[in-house]
Chain A
Amino acid sequence: MNWADILDVFSFMSVAARGCVAEPRLYGPLRLVDSMSRWYHLLKKNNLVTDERLGAVIDEIDRLKYTCMTDEEAFIGMLDDVVKALVDLHRQQE
């Protein structure tokens, strides 16, 4: 895995953590799911994840994460849907 790519994600997460001290409440969950997306895309780039079902979950995050700023209900709904989808993936794994 490329060192610079890892550094990018670490930098993002550290600044996000610092920002969450004072930023709007919903930015915390936004940064968390955005971190999921960034890790997923990094793992995918390095062929360390190939599951399309997980890719579909991340696509939904990327599609709806900006609703954090415009539609709180839709954003929280997306967070719930992500959790449910991940439960399904766990079940399918067992």
Chain B
Amino acid sequence: MMDLIKTRRSIRMYKDDDVDDSTLLELIEAATWAPSGSNVQPWYFVVVKDKKVLHQINSFSPGMFGGPPAVIAMCTDRQKAYDKAGPLGRDELATMDICMASQNLMLLATEKGLGTCPIRSFSRTAISKILNLPDHIHPDLLISVGYPAKPAQAPKRKPVSEVTYFDTWGVVR
């Protein structure tokens, strides 16, 4: 598991090779097994493989690079989150939920030899319109998916000892 976690990289250069639907659905299944606040499971996923739609998304997503053959729009139903968990559910938990779901998806993709990149640099207004999302569905992240054209270098990580305290802030072991 640790190897898998360390192998995942944000990929910004993809091969043209198609990613088949069954594989993408497996990734989404992994996403749906993430924890969610109050078990709301606020997520919805829009898989985009149509080249015209991908092109439109790319035009309104400055953070999307490398010509991925597929994009998964990771969305949340904010109304559903509010109905079950109030303002906290709508404003905070739904975001945390979709992030945990995204990590599940990206780790399984890594295991399958796929590259991914989570993207928030996009226009929510444009993406909602392009994907015909209902008003209560919030596009939180786009995840590009495809076979990496080249391996990506891992950025340095801060050592665990630098970011960890025990029992109370500032206490190290």
CB-defined interface of B39-66 with A at 8 Å, one 1/0 digit per residue? 0000000000000000100111111010
Interface centre among B12, B62, B122, B153 (most CB of A within 10 A): B62
| Chain B neighbourhood of A7, CB < 8 A | 59
Q: Is the CB of B155 within 8 A of A69?
A: yes
Taking CB as reference atom, which chain A residue is nearest B155?
A70
The binding surface of chain B is classed by DSSP as loop
Taking CB as reference atom, which chain B residue is nearest A65?
B65
The binding surface of chain A is classed by DSSP as helix
- Given A15-B126, A66-B65, A69-B10, residue A27 in contact with residue B60 (CB < 8 A): no
Which positions 2-40 of chain A face chain B at CB distance < 8 Å? 7-8, 11-12, 15-16, 18-19, 23, 27, 31, 34
CB proximity of A64 to chain B, nearest CB, Å: 12
| Chain A neighbourhood of B60, CB < 8 A | 11-12, 15
Looking at the complex, which one of A27, A70, A71 makes contact with B121 (CB distance below 8 Å)?
A27
CB-defined interface of A57-72 with B at 8 Å, one 1/0 digit per residue? 0000000001001110
Looking at the complex, which one of B12, B59, B65, B121 makes contact with A8 (CB distance below 8 Å)?
B59
| Chain B neighbourhood of A11, CB < 8 A | 59-60, 126
CA A27 – CA B60 in complex, angstroms?
A: 15
CA A66 – CA B64 in complex, angstroms?
A: 11
| Chain B neighbourhood of A19, CB < 8 A | 62-63, 121-123
CB proximity of B54 to chain A, nearest CB, Å: 12
CB proximity of B141 to chain A, nearest CB, Å: 14
CB-defined interface of B140-173 with A at 8 Å, one 1/0 digit per residue? 0000000000000101000000000000000000
Which positions 82-109 of chain B face chain A at CB distance < 8 Å? none
Nearest 5 A-B pairs (CB), nearest first? Answer: A70-B155, A11-B59, A16-B62, A15-B123, A8-B59
10 example contacts (A-B, Cβ-Cβ < 8 A) are as follows: A11-B59, A11-B60, A12-B59, A15-B123, A16-B62, A18-B123, A23-B121, A66-B65, A69-B155, A71-B155
| A-B contact sample (6 more), CB < 8 A, given A8-B59, A69-B10 | A7-B59, A8-B55, A8-B58, A11-B59, A27-B121, A69-B155
